[in-house]
């Protein structure tokens, strides 16, 4: 029995991990783009970006999943997005907004003197960003990012609301057969994934500890 349950939970875990990695793949660059928007010198662009970030961070992710899945059909009569795609789209938008704030904090925490030192040495803006600022930003955002990554692993459980068969869904399905323990058993998988993430982030942080 244990083997059968483990196998079906592993299938659920695959969906969970797929959502996790795809969200990161799209949300990290999108988040950087949004952070540039929220730091823009153009007031309207900055206003719009900050408005979007406010709405996305100010409403529950579960609601966003429902709106993206059912919204286009109910409002405009469009065909529904595939369930997994709808889940992915809402996760990407949601996490990009959180990432953008982390990026903004990281970028703005690099002292102005670093930019100025680069400028005075005749470096171009891209050179200053890639050669001087970027690594300092990365170093500063590693701890808050590890939080977000771990939260993301657990947030994937929300997609069961639109019947994406991730790991909690799989565990829950055993309740109908009179078994509650497979649901509790899912915790082991979350702990394993997040344990691995914690380890990797710890290593990365150590790697960047050669400078201050």
The verdict on 205 binding another protein (CB under 8 A) reads: no
Residues in the chain: 212
The verdict on 212 binding another protein (CB under 8 A) reads: yes
DSSP per-residue string spanning 95-137: HHHHHHHHHHHHHHTS-HHHHHHHHHTT--HHHIIIIIIHHHH
Task: Tell the smallest beta-carbon distance from residue 44 to another protein (Å).
Answer: 23
Task: Tell the smallest beta-carbon distance from residue 23 to another protein (Å).
Answer: 29
For another protein, the closer of residues 48 and 138 by Cβ is 138
Residue 10-29 contact track with another protein, rule CB under 8 A, x = bound: --------------------
Task: Tell the smallest beta-carbon distance from residue 121 to another protein (Å).
Answer: 4
The verdict on 42 binding another protein (CB under 8 A) reads: no
Which residue intervals of the chain are DSSP H helices? 2-38, 43-58, 61-76, 83-108, 112-120, 125-127, 134-155, 167-172, 181-207
Task: Tell the smallest beta-carbon distance from residue 109 to another protein (Å).
Answer: 13
Task: Tell the smallest beta-carbon distance from residue 205 to another protein (Å).
Answer: 14
Task: Tell the smallest beta-carbon distance from residue 125 to another protein (Å).
Answer: 9
The verdict on 141 binding another protein (CB under 8 A) reads: no
The verdict on 206 binding another protein (CB under 8 A) reads: no
Nearest alpha-carbon partner for 24 in 92, 87, 85: 92
What gap in Å lies between CA 190 and CA 176, rounded to an integer?
A: 23
CA distances from 11 to 3, 52, 190, 201 (A): 12, 35, 14, 26
Residue 101-140 contact track with another protein, rule CB under 8 A, x = bound: ----------x-xx-xxxxxxxxx--x---xx--xx--x-
What gap in Å lies between CA 115 and CA 138, rounded to an integer?
A: 16
Binding-site ranges for another protein (CB under 8 A):
111, 113-114, 116-124, 127, 131-132, 135-136, 139, 210-212
């Amino acid at each position: 029995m244990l083997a059968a349950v483990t196998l079906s939970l592993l299938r659920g875990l695959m969906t969970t991990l797929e959502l996790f990695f795809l969200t990161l793949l799209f949300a990290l660059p999108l988040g950087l783009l949004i952070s540039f928007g929220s730091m823009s010198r153009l007031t309207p662009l900055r206003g719009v970006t900050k408005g979007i970030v406010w709405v996305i961070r100010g409403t529950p992710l579960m609601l966003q999943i429902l709106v993206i899945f059912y919204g286009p059909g109910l409002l405009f009569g469009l065909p529904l997005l595939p369930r997994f795609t709808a889940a992915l789209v809402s996760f990407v938008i949601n996490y990009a907004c959180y990432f953008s704030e982390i990026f903004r904090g990281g970028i703005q925490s690099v002292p102005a003197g670093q930019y100025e030192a680069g400028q005075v040495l005749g470096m171009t803006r891209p050179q200053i960003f890639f050669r001087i600022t970027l690594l300092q930003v990365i170093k500063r955002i590693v701890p808050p990012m590890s939080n977000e990554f771990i939260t993301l692993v657990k947030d994937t459980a929300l997609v069961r609301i639109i019947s994406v068969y991730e790991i909690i869904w799989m565990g829950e399905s055993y309740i109908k057969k009179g078994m509650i323990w497979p649901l509790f058993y899912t915790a082991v998988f979350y702990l394993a994934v997040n344990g691995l993430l914690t380890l990797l982030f710890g290593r990365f942080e150590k790697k960047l500890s050669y400078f201050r």
